[in-house]
Amino acid sequence: MRFKQALLGMTVVMPMLGQTAFAGVSEEQAKRLGQELTCVGAEKAGNAAGTIPAFTGKYQGKVPGWNHVLHSGGQPVDPYADEKPVLVITAANAKDYTEHLTPGQLAMFKQYPQTYTMNIYPGHRDYRYSDVVCERARWNATHAQLANDGMGVDGVGQVPFPIPQNAMELLWNHQLPARAWTEDAVRDLASVLPSGDIGWGRTYTRGFAPSNDPHNTPKTEAGIQAYSWTQTLLPARESGTSTVSQEPYNFKTHSRQAWSYNPGTRRVRQLPGYGYDQPMTGSNGTMIIDEDRLFNGSPERYDWEMLGKREIYVPANAYKVNGGDVKYKDLLTPNHPNPAYMRYELRRVWVLQATLKPGFRHLYGKRVLFLDEDTWHAVLGDAYDTRGQLWKHGVTNYYYHPDSNAWHSGVAFFQDLSTGQYMGYNMTNESRKGPILNQGKFNAQMYTPDALRAAGR
């Protein structure tokens, strides 16, 4: 496979540098933001072949056809519903498009040659972040820096390194992208066996990320970048179990803190070492905690490498698969989700590889993330076992949400290539409401052990 030269003439492979901190780019480099680069660092121009369009950013805070009154809690409306695929990739022709496919995608064609397809649609780069995000990214470009060998970051929340110089800066762009600062949602989980049988889960989630709040200027000195409260609704045997967690800006000076409330014992206990490769509740082992958004949490167990950019068919403008008219019985077909609901576009993505450090333990010996240059979110992930064998393929379907002026993490699928089962995660299609973004009056005191105890009572 051919790797494209990354921006700024950097070498194809850039390992994590062993320094305490890194300075921002020069003022001259930073002037590229808003010129040939978007305000958050994507190349504005399309590709030479014309198969990737130029960035227009013509919409901010709106999506054509999506009634503004219905945004908060409303299911997304697809502005591209009338479009037809320009290409359908199947097992028969996948070899012709190898340079634009990941190893995980190629493995899916090999494993399910009769049913797995990818519908490729015209590309659209029509939405932009708010002016506040642009201002923060511009400030971060010359001021933000890594701390403690990349275990932390010093700067302002949202896109700390719009012109990344190394792997850890790239990772922190994924860790701290622009997204909603509050989220309130009931989400469904489905563990789909090869037979088509489904094990169901449901959670109520309340998220709070002050680093994304445009009304404040959250600096990393605050210590905590995000808070989460998750209550299990299904399966019934675990109903009422709740977990709160606190995510730091620096995993060297502050570890991720988490506590759990058990309704059976009515006790709250701390969860030491929460995260990493612990199984996600209701996933039947197909998904682990640090796989939400394809990677989250401390980067300490891996050596990270930047592998430049590639042009890849990735899920984009994924309104259809997140729509309220989608029924799970139609979407969650045996072996893999129904390809008719998936939308892929050719995009430029940053390739970020993580290799397990000697002496550290994790289920995955290697992980490769593919970050959309326009959003900094990882949209595809391939995970390998400790023997080097490709094990899992992850897909996250993002769509631009008007209430956050940013891209929202929608339905995600995690394919276990060894067992043939897969996980449908973060689904709200059949919920009474879609995700409610930036409407909650949340604060840090709502994410403590005392808050868990009070809720239990």
More confident residue, 218 or 282: 282
The pLDDT tens digits for 29-48 are 999 999 999 999 999 999 99
The pLDDT tens digits for 97-136 are 999 999 999 999 999 999 999 999 999 999 999 999 999 9
More confident residue, 2 or 433: 433
Residue 150 banded pLDDT, cuts 50, 70, 90: very high
Q: Is the pLDDT of residue 8 over 60?
A: no
All structural domains of the chain with their residue ranges: 7-456
Cα separation, 311 vs 264, in Å, equals 51
CA angle centred on 411, ends 85 and 271, rounded to 5°: 155
Residue 232 is predicted with a pLDDT of 96
Residue 17 is predicted with a pLDDT of 36
The CATH H-level (homologous superfamily) assignment of domain 7-456 is Lipoprotein localisation LolA/LolB/LppX (2.50.20.10)
Pull the structure tokens for residue 278.
Answer: 């612990």
Tokens 């994410």 found at: 447
Average pLDDT of the residues of the chain: 93
Residue 282 is predicted with a pLDDT of 78
The pLDDT tens digits for 227-250 are 999 999 999 999 999 999 999 999
Residue 216 banded pLDDT, cuts 50, 70, 90: confident
Residue 302 banded pLDDT, cuts 50, 70, 90: very high
Nearest residue to 368 via CA among 314, 451, 273, 304? 304
pTM given for the model: 0.94
**Side-chain-facing half-sphere of 167: CA atoms under 13 Å:** 25
Residue 18 banded pLDDT, cuts 50, 70, 90: very low
Residue 443 is predicted with a pLDDT of 94
Is residue 173 within 8 A of residue 161, CB to CB? The reply is yes
Cα separation, 285 vs 422, in Å, equals 10
Residue 376 is predicted with a pLDDT of 98
Residue 69 banded pLDDT, cuts 50, 70, 90: confident
Tell me if residue 110 falls in helix, strand or coil. helix
Tell me if residue 167 falls in helix, strand or coil. helix
The pLDDT tens digits for 335-391 are 999 999 999 999 999 999 999 999 999 999 999 999 999 999 999 999 999 999 999
Q: Is the pLDDT of residue 320 over 90?
A: yes
Residue 23 is predicted with a pLDDT of 64
HEC string of the chain equals: CCCECCHHHCCCCEECCCCCCCCCCCHHHHCCECCCECCCCCECCCCCCCCCCCCCCCECCCCCCCCHHHCCCCCCCCCCCCCCCCEEECCCCHHHHHHHCCHHHHHHHHHCCCCCCEEECCCCCCECCCHHHHHHHHHHHHHCEEECCCCEEECECCCCCCCCCCHHHHHHHHHCCCCCCEEEEEEEEEEECCCCCEEEEEEEEEEECHHHCCCCCCEHHHCEEEEEEEEEEECHHHCCCEEEEEEECECCCCCCEEEEEECCCCEEEECCCCCCCCECCCCCCCCEHHHCCCCCCCCCCEEEEEEEEEEEEEECCCCCCCCCCCCHHHHCCCCCCCHHHCCEEEEEEEEEEEEECCCCCCCCCEEEEEEECCCCCEEEEEEECCCCCEEEEEEEEEEEECCCCEEEEEEEEEEECCCCCEEEEEECCCCCCCCEECCCCCCHHHCCHHHHHHHHC
Tokens 């563990």 found at: 191
Q: Is the pLDDT of residue 6 over 80?
A: no
Pull the structure tokens for residue 446.
Answer: 């709502």
